[in-house]
Chains A and B, each alone.
Chain A
């Protein structure tokens, strides 16, 4: 009967975890209207957003450059190197921008959030706050949650813009694609609502999921060094899987067969 009991316990644990995750989310969401939390949120936007900026910008530049180089070698066979602009722009705006930003964000900012909150728990800072009648969900979790949700779409837009400029750098400056056709065919192909806004919507969804996983894993971690280490690993693994899985679902809804 042991295996049956184990199965039951595993199931109950899963449901309990979903419940705790929803409680954390509720605590984070309900704290939005509080004006006194805005300075805290700005402080977290610095940690989560500004400090991720360099890695996002550098990878955006290189991904744009690689896209242009790869696209050029294929398109030039068909004499269609004029279509390099829309190829680079569409693949970055629709897919690579939101997805790569979310993956980098999970690795750069998500893991840091989990470790920070987990260590606060381990050193009983969260309990001390509660003793002083300060709700740690409002004071600690909510600013980090909102900072993540605000920062990631902004990082995505910056990533996409720099990626397209990187494509220009390689395609036009180096490989000699006509600058006029790079930009004008891109402009006639890329649609503001269809392509740019759908990418931003994607990144808002990813921001929600990644930040939620990061703060929940930190808040729910076992307060030991092993526990924090495991929680940090789980944050990166779970958010990456969630981002890639959700990306397929969102793409199917947004760009799938009508």
Chain B
């Protein structure tokens, strides 16, 4: 019924499909460079998050260590709270660390840059659920232009 040639060709077809899947997996997609391992959450309050989105990356010196899990507005003081989901591989950030919202390239997407702070004996590490106190907001072009015009007028 099923001739040998047919079987070989179907086998070839399946092998081709597997090869294509592997190519998509290896060369095209990233399986979340942070890995699918365990993560912990840190929170940061910003004045202005600019164009930051959920799933934007969190980077330390250009290395992605996590993603933005959630963005919501604090109902009491109306400031945006960003939830950062960070891989458990990178657990030892001192409490003096700061986060800022940066842009990759001139027109690139925005990401959260984490700057590890100094650690002395009595400074603890950030743990799950902690707020990062030292934050720098996103640069908003209109604000920059406004400041520039204002400072030029006052000269």
Residues in A whose Cβ lies below 8 Å from that of B144: none
Task: Pick the contact of B13: A45, A80, A93, A192 (CB < 8 A).
Answer: A45
Residues in B whose Cβ lies below 8 Å from that of A89: 28
Residues in A whose Cβ lies below 8 Å from that of B13: 45-46, 49-50, 53, 151, 154
- The contact sample of 9 A-B pairs, CB cut-off 8 A, is A45-B10, A45-B13, A46-B6, A78-B107, A161-B19, A183-B27, A187-B29, A196-B25, A258-B54
Q: Does B77 contact A (CB under 8 A)?
A: no
Nearest chain A residue, comparing its CB with the CB of B21: A157
- The answer to whether B17 and A192 touch across the interface, beta carbons within 8 angstroms, is no
Q: Given contacts A157-B20, A192-B32, are A187 and B6 in contact (CB under 8 A)? A: no
Complex-state Cα separation, A43 to B2, whole angstroms: 6
- List 7 A-B pairs, minimum CB-CB distance, nearest first: A154-B17, A161-B20, A192-B29, A39-B2, A46-B6, A157-B20, A192-B31
Complex-state Cα separation, A40 to B14, whole angstroms: 16
Task: Pick the contact of B28: A151, A155, A196 (CB < 8 A).
Answer: A196
- The answer to whether B29 and A158 touch across the interface, beta carbons within 8 angstroms, is no
Number of interface residues of B (CB under 8 A): 26
11 other A-B residue contacts (CB within 8 Å) besides A39-B1, A154-B16, A258-B54: A39-B2, A43-B6, A45-B10, A49-B10, A78-B107, A154-B14, A155-B17, A157-B24, A164-B28, A187-B28, A196-B28
Size range of the chain A interface in the assembly = 20 to 34
- The answer to whether A157 and B28 touch across the interface, beta carbons within 8 angstroms, is no
Residues 26-56 (chain B) with a chain A CB within 8 angstroms: 27-33, 54
Q: Does A186 contact B (CB under 8 A)?
A: yes
Nearest chain A residue, comparing its CB with the CB of B6: A46
Residues in A whose Cβ lies below 8 Å from that of B33: 188
Complex-state Cα separation, A188 to B14, whole angstroms: 28
Residues in B whose Cβ lies below 8 Å from that of A157: 17, 20-21, 24
Complex-state Cα separation, A46 to B5, whole angstroms: 10
